[in-house]
Structure 1
Amino acid sequence: MQCALLTRACEPCSSQLPRQALGRRSSILSLSRQGSWNTGRPTSVAHRQSAWRPLPAGGWFMRNRFACLLVLMLPALAVVHAGEKPGTSSVVLRNVTLIDMTDERPKPNMTVVITGNRIAAIGTDSAIPPHAQDIDGSGKFLIPGLWDMHVHPLASSRWEWASRVQVANGITGNRVPGTGRPLEDIVRLRKDVEEGRVLAPRFIANGPIIDGPPANRKDRSFAGTPDEMRKEVGRLHAAGMDFIKVYTNVPRDAFFAAIEEAKRLGIPLDGHVPLTVTAAEASDAGMRSIEHAYRHRMSCATAEAEILALLIEQKKAQAAENYRQSWEREDQAFRLGLESYSSGKCVELGRRFARNGTWFVPTLVEMQTRFRSEYPEDEAFKDLFKDERLRYLPAATVLQWRDEMAWNMGFLVGRELQSGRNEEAVFREREQEIANRLKMVFDLHRGGANLLAGTDADATFHFVFFGSSLHEELALFVKAGLTPMEALRTATVNPARFLGAEDSLGTIEQGKLADLVLLDANPLDDISNTTRIRAVVVNGRYVDRAALDALLKEAEKAANP
């Protein structure tokens, strides 16, 4: 990347969508004493956990002369004090109410001192360093920076705008479970973020997803046998991947081979539960995290075995290009899942997840978009495309969303009418599915399962947005039955625990990384208050509201150059 993220912030940006749219190795990341993330993949699980401990300091994000010129020209947008050496400047937030996530009690009238990339002091009378940037936080609320634990921003076609939008929405960390971007590019980009040359969420990534045959996507790798799987897991581990992600079509024996090889090599295995494996079996085997609430909800159904058999038939029919049989089997499995959902079975699955240390990333917001029931000619459908967030997407993407949603609705209604059910029945089933997925999350939570907030944003799922949709995910957790504090944990404390980084992330405590979000209202009163962002601290850099707005303008311009 030639420029830091703010280098074009002064350029004029249209507020309207274009008319036509309407080292060669990745690694587990180590955190420097100043908050930079240094690479260096440990060789064992114990080393992998200790890799988050402080190491020597990293560099500065403003290596580019244009970025420096911008800071000199626009002091209001400066996130590092001009003339001060990076890593030594201080920011002080005074009179702020702290929601530090160590307990449920907000702490009023606190002072937080940030030096370099770390929280240097917290208290009611903390000394203010000379020449510090002094911020009055009266009436404001400070929370840890938010993590999107399932998001896909790394594609070269979307990074420039997706990273900006995320920072502007208080997202300071990403887990990226799948990207086709070349490994060398990922390593370079990650280093730029680690060393502060790019203002963006810190991230971990796994490289390509491993799926089973057929090998029909260039951005994935494929393994159809245990030997092929062991070889592929070993290849990705040797390349320095942070974790392994498997997908839906992996054969049963290859899946268990992946688990065994990942354990042997000391690298976590996450992903989709293959169709030939139950979620309980995957958890017992040692799968670290299970992604999404679709199809995995069959594990909360009393008819789980029958549903699995139908979905396997559906895949075979699809491979044979028998599309009518394919959608009939999928529809049968869908309705059987609705009819046989069991809260008791789901709570027990949550207990199993808790015992085994299996995490669950439901991506509820992405699920909601799959079950929209608006007709293209309805006002509700048209109103969707008045969403202000569409300006931060490429115009071609917005047009594609509109066309796909219209086609999908027509196809859905047409095929369901052929099955003898009327439209109202179909839409009622879709509403029930949304309700069941919320119920599933709460039942797993009641059983003790650990939850992570993720969106699956990748610009292909309709109305799932980078940045802002994470706030929608938190709201859906609350709608499912979690408290606002419990929902916040899924994007703060829980990611730190998941990553083995509790000494540096997740809470606001002295010595931890300064990734913070300053809010105008208390999110414990109303979880939607996480959207009322006054400022974001990214790796120690204070980005005020004016600078965040400039980032959004940058995103708009980057999405539609």
Structure 2
Amino acid sequence: MDFADAPQAPRTPADVSRRRFLQGTAAAAALAGTVTLPRPAAAATASREVGYVFTAATNGAATVAPSGAVVAEVQGVLWSVPRAGGTAKPLTPVELEPTRPVFAPDGSLLAVCAYQGGGFHLWTMRPDGSELTQRTEGPWDDRGPAWSPDGERLAFASERGGDPVAGSPYRIWILELASGKLTRLTGVPGQNGPHQDGRWEDFDPTWSPDGERVLFVRARVLPDAAGLDARTVASVRADGTGPVTSAYTEELPGTQLLAPALSPAGTLALLRTTAAPNGSCTLVVDGAPVAVRGDVHAVPPRWTSRDTLLVTVDGHFRLVRPTAPDAYEEIPFRGERRVDRPHYRVKRYDVEPGGTRPVRALHLPALSPDGRQVAFAALNSLWLADTSGGRAPRRIVRSPVTRYPLAPAWSPDGRALLYSDDRDGLHAVRRRDLRTGEEEVLVRGGRVHPALSPDGRRLATLDMAYNLMVLDLDSGEERKVAAPLGAGGAPGRPSWSPDGRYVALCDLARLNQRFREGYNAVRIVDVRNGSSRLHTIAPHQSLSDRYGSGPVWSPDGRHFAVVAESALWLLPVTADGTPDGTPRMVSDEPADHPSWSADGRRILYQSAGRLRLVDLADGEPRTVRVPFDHRRPTPADTVVHAGRLWDGSGDDSTVREDVDLVVRGGRVTAVEPHRSGRPALRRVDASGRTVLPGLWDAHTHPWQATYGGRQTALQLAYGITTAASFGGFAYEQARLREAIAAGELAGPRLLTTGELLDGARPSYGMARAHNSRAGLARSLRRGAALDWDFVKTYVRAPGWVMAEAARFAHEELGVRAGSHLLSPGMQLGQDLTTHLQATQRQESGRSLTAGGRSAQDVTEIYTHGGFHLVATPFTAGPLVGADPALARDERVTRLMPPWDVATVTAAAAKPPSEAQLATVRGEVEVYHRILSGGGLVALGTDQPLVAVGLHLHLALRALHRFGLSPAEALRTATVLPARVFGAERDLGTLEVGRCADLVVVDGDPFTDFDSLVRTESVLRGGVPYTQRELVDSFPAPGTSARAGTAGHWREVGHRLRHGSCCDIDH
């Protein structure tokens, strides 16, 4: 349904259906598709065919038919493999994304779970790949098919029967193939069973040989949703009657069970896994571990006879008799696949100093109550502009270069602005009188996104643990009203109901505890008692993100302004915020950050870099023109006298001594033997130091709402001069890039992206949810307007989103595209993965096993066809315990926020264990193998999920400790990331003509690699920053507004990182 066609729809409690919602967004697709996007110097994507040869399958599952036919999943494609081994033939297209294939008992059909289209469903096909048929459909995921002995039914795990808001835990279901009838076996009313005194999840079904019962894993949900305890195999009658009983319980703590399988004789086999740093997968048969030689992969074992199992070990398909595991038979294969890989011209990044550029990012604009002005942040300042347009904005607050002002909000009378900044060390909310310029602090201790109640007497904010706080301004009493519902970032900004009783915000309605995704829902909190309700704007439909998508309550209380499918909608609501009618699309152009005038007649929002003001009476948006430019400073001519110089272009033997680097206009113009008296406006005496190219952190996330100015300052203090963002809020990233380039914010140069482009179900607040092609087109138009430097898709983005995002990145922007997914990312035209392995949409990723190993297929992909790896060695974290002095460094005690101080201090007190060292050694071996094969590995950290700046040095130490030379390790953080991003013409080395990005180290990393962390100063494009100046700009320990104990701040750090893609707390 096109909501714009029904602005006067009747106010009924009935929700518009998801199908009708998507029809509405599709109706705008034609317009969205006809917009001419600005093109940089990037040609249309060409392609070149690249051949890949696979002889092993990381986490590849296989199945054998009674005839001996073998079908195996290798990198997201099903292959037919001869029973005796030999040449494998691909059977399925990459778009299908099949997993866990299993033959019917007679071998006539094959069942798989596949993700085609954006949801997991059951499919069947013939052994030759023909007659591919989808068997289940709908918004719920269906996983793990298992054939009944008669071949007429499939048991599977499904979310069916749940609720998109209340949740949908996995239960066991049966599908009758002939009729399509679905029957629920577990979780039915009145059914008793183990762990039903709390929450639980059921998955991985298997049948008893007589077909009378279905066995499966039952996992208990741990307190506070801290994960699953999956140590029970349960059993239920196949007709769904009777209780669930326990069939097997694993007594070994710290383990998880998966993929039980019953033999024709009734012998129970299953897999038992343990997490890192003791990561493992063990085959267990009849309750006893089987001593399988090699790395067992966590994919379903299949019985091929009464006493033989097909398992995947070291990437190979192995037939094993549990009674004699060393007398195994392998089924060797060789699969050749030719893939069209993109070939395009990368844009020239705008790294030049000097000159004037337009300001693209007016961050978090807020319309004044009278509708005459808009407040926003840009260039590290707060500004006011007239909505009549045409006049330059007026700066009202300017922050120091190591601080960060955020989120201006108007007082109800329009006389004051509220905002937060971190001038005292943590974000505090301030109120500024616009007539007098006087300011007062309303609340300290880390508070952001202020919103005054309509009567002006109460202040709603979010604290650093993402709790909704309400401060009574008369009494000074502050209460925690509500905790966030899910992990993955903060809830949205609070919005008051007109009567001041409720606060609305966007929060995550997580569906279950097996997987972390859900829907961005409207949460209504009663501030009197903290009770809350959740609503989606349509069934299974998310708001676009949990930042700039509302809900924003209208002044008359009758509507929410929301952003979904990246468009602006009005949602009718009752006085308590309950949806009360059909949403109406206000405009089919891209939208972010809506705000209302006090009379409720106008809404201001952002659209692809423009401010737009719509009068709801006529529905015609107009552009609020804000003439606004910034000028980049031209750095002074500089001579750097280096005692030792490694310019990044060679190996350890290329270190030069006693040289001058001459810098003109921010670039290296000469590298010559030292000569005293060389003319320059600025001199850097590094005669007793080592000079290196500035370091890259190739995987970061800007979190200024919690870190403020600390994040960028910390990076410089640890020698990082270039940071690549792999996900954040689009306008904030553009704001940061402009402020840094303009000299208004101290930080590394920033390569930006937008939000994580996701499918229908996001997890992170910074993910952008999409159900439609029109919605994706709107999101990408924002990327063109804001000139993204990278395009990232996320875990639930279906293949069509991944492919279109890659095409857009290459053709429209001339930049890289990537994701977590090795496959199908490589096959769909992406350029890299953002980790070796992180959260995946299938049960097991295709890059790394439970034991921390990768097989030949992974190396083959990363060393062919220009597909790269951004490595994020979280396993290097414990190395801080090998050098506890790192935690006493002032960059930790003074520059880091208190939650990171507490975390680093605690970690430094524990030397790394042998298991931890073995884990990081195994990870580095994978990187070494890729580098040795000619692949590119760029080093990132995923900060601030880890300690900003410091963790890059721990990762570099890990690379060197476990096999890389000093130059080889340094290349992963200098020249290789520049090559990965196509920026090697300007960045990555200190050769003549390159940007003057360098770091001065008090030591010699080529003789003492650990001295690399002693980064004394940097030049970024010729602009100097010293560690001393950065540290001194923040309060000394004990003098800042850091209320709370170390334990409190550790808990805040846990909340910030809990549920992240590589949760370091687990």
2:634 counterpart (87, 100, 104)? 87
- Please give the alpha-carbon distance, in whole angstroms, between the structure 2 residues aligned to 1:481 and 1:106: 20
2:936 aligned with 1:447: no
Residue deviations 1:435-465, cap 9 Å, x none?
A: 432322222223222011111112xx3xx21
TM-score norm. by structure 1 comes to 0.65
Q: Which residue of 1 aligns with 2:861?
A: 352
2:748 aligned with 1:196: no
Residue deviations 1:79-133, cap 9 Å, x none?
A: xxxxxx9636332222522111122311111112223422232211558454633
SS of alignment partner, residue 174 of structure 1: strand
The verdict on how the C-alpha distance between 1:146 and 1:551 changes in structure 2, with shifts beyond 3 A counting, is: farther
1 or 2 for the larger relative contact order (CA 8 Å, sep ≥6)?
A: 1
Give the deviation of 1:162 after TM superposition: 1.0
Amino acid at match of 2:836: A
2:1011 counterpart (526, 529, 532)? 529
2:884 aligned with 1:337: no
- Please give the alpha-carbon distance, in whole angstroms, between the structure 2 residues aligned to 1:143 and 1:243: 26
Q: Which residue of 1 aligns with 2:691?
A: 142
2:655 aligned with 1:173: no
Q: Which residue of 2 aligns with 1:513?
A: 995
2:939 aligned with 1:392: no
Query: Greater shift after overlay, 434-443 or 232-241?
Result: 232-241
Contact 1:350 1:446 in 2 (8 A): no
- Please give the alpha-carbon distance, in whole angstroms, between the structure 1 residues aligned to 2:1012 and 2:934: 25
The verdict on how the C-alpha distance between 1:310 and 1:216 changes in structure 2, with shifts beyond 3 A counting, is: closer
- Please give the alpha-carbon distance, in whole angstroms, between the structure 2 residues aligned to 1:554 and 1:117: 33
- Please give the alpha-carbon distance, in whole angstroms, between the structure 2 residues aligned to 1:499 and 1:391: 33
Residue deviations 1:25-80, cap 9 Å, x none?
A: xxxxxxxxxxxxxxx97152489635247767237999999979xxxxxxxxxxxx
Query: Greater shift after overlay, 549-558 or 448-457?
Result: 549-558
- Please give the alpha-carbon distance, in whole angstroms, between the structure 2 residues aligned to 1:140 and 1:528: 14
Aligned residues: 432
SS of alignment partner, residue 452 of structure 1: strand
The verdict on how the C-alpha distance between 1:512 and 1:474 changes in structure 2, with shifts beyond 3 A counting, is: same
Give the deviation of 1:523 after TM superposition: 1.6
Q: Which residue of 1 aligns with 2:788?
A: 241
Amino acid at match of 2:961: K
- Please give the alpha-carbon distance, in whole angstroms, between the structure 2 residues aligned to 1:187 and 1:65: 18
- Please give the alpha-carbon distance, in whole angstroms, between the structure 1 residues aligned to 2:778 and 2:356: 37
- Please give the alpha-carbon distance, in whole angstroms, between the structure 1 residues aligned to 2:735 and 2:380: 16
Amino acid at match of 1:287: Q
Q: How does 1:218-367 map to 2 (within 5 A)?
A: 218-224=765-771, 229=776, 232-274=779-821, 279-295=822-838, 310-311=843-844, 337-338=850-851, 341=853, 343=855, 345=856, 349-364=858-873, 366-367=874-875
Q: Which residue of 1 aligns with 2:955?
A: 473
Amino acid at match of 1:282: G
Q: State the structure with more CA Rg.
A: 2
SS of alignment partner, residue 57 of structure 1: coil
1:58 counterpart (355, 358, 371)? 355
SS of alignment partner, residue 495 of structure 1: helix
**Greater helix content:** 1
SS of alignment partner, residue 487 of structure 1: helix
- Please give the alpha-carbon distance, in whole angstroms, between the structure 1 residues aligned to 2:700 and 2:351: 26
Amino acid at match of 1:439: E
Contact 1:165 1:555 in 2 (8 A): no
Give the deviation of 1:250 after TM superposition: 2.2
Give the deviation of 1:211 after TM superposition: 2.0
- Please give the alpha-carbon distance, in whole angstroms, between the structure 2 residues aligned to 1:504 and 1:141: 21
Contact 2:689 2:1002 in 1 (8 A): yes
- Please give the alpha-carbon distance, in whole angstroms, between the structure 1 residues aligned to 2:823 and 2:777: 22
Q: Which residue of 2 aligns with 1:540?
A: 1022
Q: Which residue of 2 aligns with 1:327?
A: none
- Please give the alpha-carbon distance, in whole angstroms, between the structure 1 residues aligned to 2:677 and 2:895: 39
Q: What is the CA RMSD across the aligned residues, in angstroms?
A: 4.3
Identity of aligned residues (%): 24
Instruction: Point out where structure 2 has 5 or more consecutive residues left out of the alignment.
Output: 1-37, 45-343, 358-378, 382-396, 402-631, 908-912, 1044-1066
**Greater strand content:** 2
Residue deviations 1:394-438, cap 9 Å, x none?
A: 33566699999xxxxxxxxxxxxxxxxxxxxxx998776444323
Give the deviation of 1:511 after TM superposition: 2.9
Contact 1:97 1:108 in 2 (8 A): yes
2:667 counterpart (118, 138, 142)? 118
Amino acid at match of 1:337: A
Give the deviation of 1:153 after TM superposition: 2.9
Give the deviation of 1:257 after TM superposition: 4.3
SS of alignment partner, residue 143 of structure 1: strand
The verdict on how the C-alpha distance between 1:204 and 1:510 changes in structure 2, with shifts beyond 3 A counting, is: same
Amino acid at match of 2:1007: D
Q: Which residue of 1 aligns with 2:924?
A: 438
Give the deviation of 1:143 after TM superposition: 0.6
The verdict on how the C-alpha distance between 1:468 and 1:432 changes in structure 2, with shifts beyond 3 A counting, is: closer
SS of alignment partner, residue 338 of structure 1: coil
Q: Which residue of 2 aligns with 1:498?
A: 980
SS of alignment partner, residue 706 of structure 2: coil
- Please give the alpha-carbon distance, in whole angstroms, between the structure 2 residues aligned to 1:94 and 1:256: 49
SS of alignment partner, residue 817 of structure 2: strand
- Please give the alpha-carbon distance, in whole angstroms, between the structure 1 residues aligned to 2:644 and 2:400: 33
Contact 2:759 2:796 in 1 (8 A): yes
Contact 2:694 2:722 in 1 (8 A): yes
The verdict on how the C-alpha distance between 1:525 and 1:210 changes in structure 2, with shifts beyond 3 A counting, is: same
- Please give the alpha-carbon distance, in whole angstroms, between the structure 1 residues aligned to 2:826 and 2:810: 14
- Please give the alpha-carbon distance, in whole angstroms, between the structure 2 residues aligned to 1:437 and 1:479: 12
The verdict on how the C-alpha distance between 1:386 and 1:42 changes in structure 2, with shifts beyond 3 A counting, is: closer
Residue deviations 1:350-394, cap 9 Å, x none?
A: 343232111111210x2445xx799xxxxx89x899665254333
- Please give the alpha-carbon distance, in whole angstroms, between the structure 1 residues aligned to 2:942 and 2:380: 30
Contact 1:205 1:243 in 2 (8 A): yes
Query: Greater shift after overlay, 102-111 or 265-274?
Result: 265-274
Give the deviation of 1:231 after TM superposition: 5.4
- Please give the alpha-carbon distance, in whole angstroms, between the structure 1 residues aligned to 2:973 and 2:949: 12
2:706 aligned with 1:157: yes
